[in-house]
């Protein structure tokens, strides 16, 4: 009973989330000021890489080693995630070993980092999730993995503080590899953590761009795969979470469950409904079925089933077919947008999500009303990560130009001829670039539904 109440309470909180930023205000995009160290192209050009190369990869399951690493950070000895993130967010000139020690954060390339490094070189990553349990899916170590990845990024950052830039570049391979592993065959939350880890690791390129003697990472960034974090697996897992959990509902028409089997299945359920879906009140499953019975029968007959067959069908099965038809229709209607390239689909997917609840006008939309994940944020973040890579490539192109032109900023991005200057992948157009005095501003316009805090705006100067 306690669990049923908990579930019902949580259900009330569930609603298809409109894009968080929609009305979050068009606040100012945060500005990042960088004093760039000029640096020419490395020789050989691909001397530095931000992910392990194919010849460095080993067969095996990386998740085994990541889980092993989790066992190494038990006992509260290794800081907490919030403090670790603060150490990553503070300006690098304020980051000191004293602060790192105060946060009990590990640092240095010790056994823990080396284990993560080895994991990053594994070809596969099977998190072995128990997807068949549906909502009871336990993610026991995702928060630990997030913490481990944060530790890895911090370890690389400390090398930058100590002036070991080449070492730091090589160490960044580990959290970036871990970020990609997190999105492999996993649930949505894993992918979201992977994207955050990738962002935290890429932010270190900003640190490196300002560090004396730091190599130019233009080609290292260019060699990164696109998309950097492919959310296809996590999104498809979410689309089929329901099917994986209740196999009889995957194809209820073919199910061999008899009337008693269906009855037993639904008698376990807590109340359904409430919120913004087609059923405004909470009802027990039996009453929900009563509520939709006539529609279910008509739906099956309209689909071409013989009316006599429909009459003879167990009632619960009939309603299950009706509900699952609604589920598949609505889910595919929302998930299809995920596959559209961002520049083409941004407007449409945002609108589709914003108007989602208005489209729920049929009784068999009850499940999507409760369980549809808000996809726009994921879609936008995935594209945003690739935009971050492109913007950093622009910055490295500026460093390269400055190294060859006596420390001068290019007057425009088109003045840079030594390397191709990337376009903004979210718009398909150039980044905005403007020089005023000795400061250049590099920015990208916010998408109509994008949150200001996710935007980018750099103010670049050249260190003399």
Q: Which residues in the 345-364 window bind another protein by CB under 8 A?
A: none
What totals of helices (H) and strands (E) does the chain contain, helices first? 19, 8
Residue in 59, 91, 212, 304 binding another protein, rule: CB under 8 A: 59
* The binder of another protein chosen from 22, 40, 57, 343 (CB under 8 A): 57
Of 57 and 354, which has the nearer Cβ to another protein? 57
Name which of 110 and 163 has its Cβ closer to another protein: 110
CA-closest candidate to residue 444, choices 378, 408, 395, 375? 395
Distance CA 152, CA 108 (A): 10
Map the footprint of another protein across residues 185-214, applying CB under 8 A: 187-189, 192-193, 196
Residue whose pair of structure tokens reads 């729920």 in the numeric block: 360
Could you tell me which stretch among 290-298, 330-338, 382-390, 399-407 binds another protein (CB under 8 A)? 290-298
Nearer Cβ to another protein (226/281) = 281
Please select the residue that binds another protein; options are 25, 53, 134, 163, rule is CB under 8 A. Answer: 134
Dig out the tokens for 31 from the structure: 């500005």
SS3 at position 59: strand
Q: Which of 240, 263, 282, 405 binds another protein (CB under 8 A)?
A: 263
Could you say whether residue 292 binds another protein (CB under 8 A)? yes
Binder of another protein out of 40, 293, 430, 441 (CB under 8 A)? 293
Q: Report the distance separating Cα 126 and Cα 81, nearest Å.
A: 24
The DSSP letter of residue 228 is: S
DSSP annotation string for 61-107: EHHHHHHHHHHHT-TT-S--HHHHHHHHHS-GGG--HHHHHHTT---
Tokens matching residue 462: 């050249």
- Among 244, 246, 423, 435, indicate the residue that binds another protein (CB under 8 A): 246
Measured from the CB atom, the residue of 36 and 272 that comes closer to another protein is 272
The strand pairing partners of 34, in sequence order, are 460
Q: Binding residue for another protein (CB under 8 A) from 288, 400, 426, 456?
A: 288
> Could you say whether residue 5 binds another protein (CB under 8 A)?
no
Compare residues 176 and 318 and give the one whose CB is closer to another protein: 318
Residue 244 contacts another protein per CB under 8 A: no
In sequence order, the 6+-apart residues with CB closer than 8 A to the CB of 190 are 127, 139, 142, 182, 183, 234
Yes or no: say if 358 and 1 are a contact pair by the CB < 8 Å rule: no
Which residue from 28, 86, 264, 332 is in contact with another protein, where contact means CB under 8 A?
264
Binding to another protein (CB under 8 A): which residues in 422-451?
A: none
Residues 92-131 within binding reach of another protein (CB under 8 A): 123, 130
Handedness of CA 11, 16, 21, 25 (dihedral sign): negative
Q: Is 416 in the site for another protein (CB under 8 A)?
A: no
Cβ contacts of 422 within 8 Å, gap of 6 or more: 222, 390, 393, 394, 431
Half-sphere exposure of 212 (CA within 13 A, CB side): 5
DSSP-derived pairing of the beta strands 58-61 and 122-124: parallel
> 57 or 92, CB closer to another protein?
57
Q: How many residues at the interface with another protein, by CB under 8 A?
A: 101
Q: Given candidates 11, 220, 409, 456, which one binds another protein under the rule CB under 8 A?
A: 11
Binding residues among 135-164 for another protein as defined by CB under 8 A: 135-144, 146-147
Question: In the set 10, 24, 90, 411, which binds another protein (CB under 8 A)?
Answer: 10
Least separation in angstroms between residue 128's CB and another protein is: 9
Distance in Å, CB of 75 to another protein, minimum:
6
Give backbone dihedrals phi and psi of 224, rounded to 5 degrees, phi first. -70, 145
Looking at 161, 315, 423, 452, which residue binds another protein (CB under 8 A)? 315
In angstroms, the CA 190 to CA 196 distance is 10
- x/- track of binding to another protein for residues 357-396 (CB under 8 A): ---------xx--xx-xx--xx------------------
């Amino acid at each position: 009973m306690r669990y049923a109440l908990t579930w019902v309470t949580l259900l009330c909180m569930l609603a298809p989330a409109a894009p968080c930023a929609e009305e979050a205000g068009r606040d100012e995009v945060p500005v990042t000021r960088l004093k760039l160290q000029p640096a020419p192209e490395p020789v050989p050009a691909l001397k530095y890489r931000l992910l392990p190369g194919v010849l460095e990869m080993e067969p095996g399951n990386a998740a085994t080693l990541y889980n092993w690493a989790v066992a190494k950070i038990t006992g509260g000895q290794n800081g907490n995630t919030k403090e670790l993130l603060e150490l990553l967010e503070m300006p690098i000139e304020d980051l000191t070993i004293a602060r790192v020690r105060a946060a009990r954060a590990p640092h240095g390339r010790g056994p823990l980092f080396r284990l993560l490094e080895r994991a990053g070189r594994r070809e596969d990553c099977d998190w072995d999730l128990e997807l068949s349990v549906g909502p009871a899916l336990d993610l026991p170590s995702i928060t630990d993995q997030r913490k481990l990845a944060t530790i890895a990024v911090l370890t690389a950052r400390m090398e930058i503080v100590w002036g070991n830039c080449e070492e730091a570049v090589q160490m960044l391979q580990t959290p970036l590899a871990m970020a990609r592993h997190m999105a492999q065959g996993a649930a949505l939350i894993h992918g979201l953590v992977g994207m955050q880890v990738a962002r935290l690791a890429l932010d270190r390129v900003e640190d490196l761009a300002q560090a004396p003697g730091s190599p130019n990472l233009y080609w290292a960034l260019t060699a990164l795969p696109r998309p950097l974090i492919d959310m296809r697996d996590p999104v498809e897992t979410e689309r089929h979470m329901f099917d994986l959990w209740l196999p009889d509902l995957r194809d209820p028409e073919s199910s061999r469950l008899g009337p008693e089997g269906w009855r037993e299945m639904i008698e376990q359920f807590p109340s359904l409904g409430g919120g913004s879906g087609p059923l405004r009140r909470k009802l027990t499953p039996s009453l929900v079925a009563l509520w939709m019975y006539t529609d279910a029968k008509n739906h099956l007959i309209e689909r071409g089933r013989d009316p006599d067959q429909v009459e003879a069908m167990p009632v619960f099965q009939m309603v299950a077919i009706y509900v699952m038809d609604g589920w598949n229709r609505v889910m595919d209607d929302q998930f299809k947008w995920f596959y559209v390239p961002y520049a083409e689909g941004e407007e449409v997917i945002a609108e589709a999500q914003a108007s989602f609840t208005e489209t729920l006008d049929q009784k068999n939309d009850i499940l999507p009303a409760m369980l549809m994940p808000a996809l726009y944020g994921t879609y936008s973040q995935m594209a945003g990560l690739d935009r971050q890579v492109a913007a950093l490539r622009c910055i490295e192109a500026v460093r390269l130009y400055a190294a060859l032109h006596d420390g001068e900023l290019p007057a425009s991005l088109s003045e840079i001829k030594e390397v191709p200057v990337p376009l903004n992948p979210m718009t398909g157009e150039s980044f905005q670039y403007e020089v005023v005095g000795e400061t250049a501003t590099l920015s990208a316009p916010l998408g109509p539904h994008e949150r200001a805090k996710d935007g980018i705006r750099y103010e670049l100067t050249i260190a003399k």
